[in-house]
Amino acid sequence: MPDDKSCVAGRTERLQKILSAYGVASRREAERMILAGRVAVGGETASLGQSAVAGVDDITVDGLPIATERRLVYIMLNKPRGYVTTMSDEQGRKTVTQLVSDVGERVYPVGRLDLNSEGLLLLTNDGDFANAVMHPRFAKVKSYNVRVRGNAAKAASSLALPVEIDSRTVKAASVKLLSSDSYGGVLTVSINEGLNRQVRKMCEMHGLHVLSLRRVSIGGLKLGSLPSGKWRHLTENEVRGLSVDSNG
């Protein structure tokens, strides 16, 4: 994997790109940090759309200079329920970054899992890698094991039908019924898109109440037996697969 620093050092770049490249936050999160007045250049509060030169201009976040020397890190976390997928939380809720504080580098989440969802979450300080994983152009299939209340057997076929969510037509790439009884069941739902709470909304639209939701794979990367709340480094092959292949 190329080092993001080579893409920005010595060149004038948008601040959000610099912050992403140097592992401070994703570009979207960096934009929020700039809008909140947390970023400064040369001692002056930065504005969204402002540019700077990494390694030359004095860029700080919350009064601390960004680190321009670092190693690229790629990890998988088995996110437990009850943690938010953000760097910090204004409501004081637990964040996933608390679970990876011993990584040795500042990393940020690639995509999101909502508060009550669990399972596979990627974190990195490589902006290009994060963009490759999240960009719709690469259409990486994400699979979830979903425990539901309702007619799971009937929904297993209907979930493959198109529905409109947030003004977009979506459907499951595949659905597998793992178990069912008179109360509900467990489904594996795979999707290509990544709309906010998409699987939950799809299930609700098909008459199911989601009891638990656990992401088990992204592309060819599987959560496996990693314990809840624990993390591990990705292998070089895993990083390469997520960066290049559409489905690993």
* 244 within 8 A of 6, measured Cβ to Cβ: no
CA 138 to CA 40: how far, in whole Å? 34
> Pairing relation of β-strands 209-218 and 118-124?
parallel
Half-sphere exposure of 156 (CA within 13 A, CB side): 17
Type and span of the H or E element at 189: strand 184-191
* 146 within 8 A of 159, measured Cβ to Cβ: no
Q: Which residues contact 51 (CB under 8 A, 6 or more apart)?
A: 12, 13, 14, 15
Give the catalytic positions in this structure.
114
Q: Which of 227, 237, 23 is nearest to 130 (CA)?
A: 23
